[in-house]
Amino acid sequence: MFPVDRPRRLRRTAALRRLVAETTLRPEDLVAPLFVGEGLDEPRSISSLPGHAQHSLASLRAEVGALASAGVGGVILFGVPTTKDEVGSGAYDPDGIVQVALRDLRDTYGDDVVVMADLCLDEYTSHGHCGVLDSCGAVDNDATLELYARAALAQAEAGAAVVAPSGMMDGQVGAIRSALDESSHADTVILAYTAKYASALYGPFREAVNVEIAGGGDRRGYQQDYRNRREALREARLDIDEGADIIMVKPAMTYLDVLSDLASELDVPLAAYHVSGEYAMVKAAAERGWLDGAGIALEQLTAVKRAGADFILTYFAREVAEGLNP
Ligand code: PBG
């Protein structure tokens, strides 16, 4: 018998496998995206995101409590306003639904839960774009930055520990950092959606927030082209120079190469967003009995960590965190 290397030796028992596992998924690695609907007395379910709802203020408070008990790393809020307009006023109105919800959560949980706010206009604009439009109907980058700065202040004022600009406008991180620093919110963290790709995987999210892009339009003029890999590094360096504290890749599973690049090249914390379509695909197949949903959720989220993410925004946060707890 010649000597062979036997990697299987380390796979013999569950205890050995656990001892040598390179990647560990913990509840605190997960951040739960949550929707809050203006004027709702009861949560309203979202058919393409089973287990999720547009929350009322009361159900949001309860859900955040349950998530905190499960040990998740944080929550990120998205607002569903009752009215929209051309300039997305609800995003920066101090009485806009997310600002109201942020104050409520701050009063209830203080600094015990990391509460983040998605910072964008698309939920609040009548045309569904992430910025304001110029006279030709194109998204006006620099006019949008002024509104993002106002939204950042409104969110920070209302108690967001982290603001997360998701609109992919050039210069958005710099504009928000300056606005925060100039107004006594130097401690507010910026989690930048740095490499956010124009993806077909956002469909269920758009149902969740009632967003339809006018005229059958899309976001390819501002979100990244999925044919590009190195471009993500360029975006990341810009965001870090402008003051991003954390950078994020979105979606997750189809961009593990990008995550891996950013993890090896950069030294800021790195997040990934396992998006609505990624969740819905697993849920739909599991519902049909075609796949083991819980098994896939764990495998996918662990893979995202293995590729380099420090934490993951995921609609699986609560169920996976609860499953990880003894
Ligand atoms: C924009 C935003 C989107 C998502 C998060 N922030 C939608 C978009 O870019 O069209 C998608 C998240 C998901 O699909 O889970 N505010």
Looking up tokens 């740095």, which residue turns up? 194
Helix axes 230-242, 256-265, angle to 10 degrees: 50
Residue 1 pLDDT greater than 90, yes or no: no
Pocket probe mutation, ligand 1, options 122, 201, 220, 312, max atoms within 8 Å of Cβ = 122
Looking up tokens 């009995």, which residue turns up? 289
Q: What is the pLDDT of residue 290?
A: 98
Q: What is the pLDDT of residue 215?
A: 86
State how far the Cα of 216 lies from the Cα of 49, in Å rounded to an integer.
22
CA angle 207, 210, 211 (to 5 degrees): 95
Nearest CA to ligand 1 atom 5: 166
57 assigned to some structural domain: yes
Which 3 state secondary structure label does DSSP give 312?
strand
**pLDDT band at residue 216, thresholds of 50, 70 and 90?**
confident
Q: Which atom of ligand 1 is nearest to 193's Cα?
A: 6
Give pLDDT tens digits for 171-197: 999 999 999 999 999 999 999 999 999
Assess whether 84 carries a catalytic annotation: no
69 assigned to some structural domain: yes
Q: What is the pLDDT of residue 154?
A: 98
Give pLDDT tens digits for 128-175: 999 999 999 999 999 999 999 999 999 999 999 999 999 999 999 999
In short, whether 197's Cβ falls inside 6 Å of ligand 1 is: no
Pocket probe mutation, ligand 1, options 166, 254, 274, max atoms within 8 Å of Cβ = 166
Residue 326 pLDDT greater than 80, yes or no: no
Residue 97 pairs in a beta bridge with: none
State how far the Cα of 274 lies from the Cα of 250, in Å rounded to an integer.
7
114 assigned to some structural domain: yes
pLDDT (mean) for 258-278? 98
State how far the Cα of 81 lies from the Cα of 140, in Å rounded to an integer.
23
State how far the Cα of 320 lies from the Cα of 326, in Å rounded to an integer.
12
Give pLDDT tens digits for 83-112: 999 999 999 999 999 999 999 999 999 999
311 assigned to some structural domain: yes
10 assigned to some structural domain: no
Q: What is the pLDDT of residue 2?
A: 79
In short, whether 166's Cβ falls inside 6 Å of ligand 1 is: yes
Q: Give the domain CATH number at 303.
A: 3.20.20.70
Residue 23 pLDDT greater than 80, yes or no: yes
Q: What is the pLDDT of residue 325?
A: 82
Q: What is the pLDDT of residue 3?
A: 79
91 assigned to some structural domain: yes
Number of domains in the chain: 1
Which residue in 267, 266, 263, 247 sits closest to 305, CA to CA?
Answer: 263
C-alpha 202 to ligand 1 mean position (Å): 6
**pLDDT band at residue 208, thresholds of 50, 70 and 90?**
very high
In short, whether 205's Cβ falls inside 6 Å of ligand 1 is: yes
pLDDT (mean) for 18-24? 97
270 assigned to some structural domain: yes
19 assigned to some structural domain: no
Pinpoint the alpha helices (H) of the chain.
14-20, 57-69, 97-109, 141-158, 172-181, 203-208, 230-242, 256-265, 276-287, 293-307, 317-324
Name, in order, each residue with C-beta under 8 angstroms of 264's C-beta and a sequence gap of 6 or more.
308
CA angle 104, 39, 80 (to 5 degrees): 80
- Mean pLDDT (the chain) is 97
Residue 54 pLDDT greater than 80, yes or no: yes
The range of the structural domain enclosing residue 128 comes to 24-324
What percentage of the chain exceeds 90 in pLDDT? Answer: 97
Assess whether 250 carries a catalytic annotation: yes
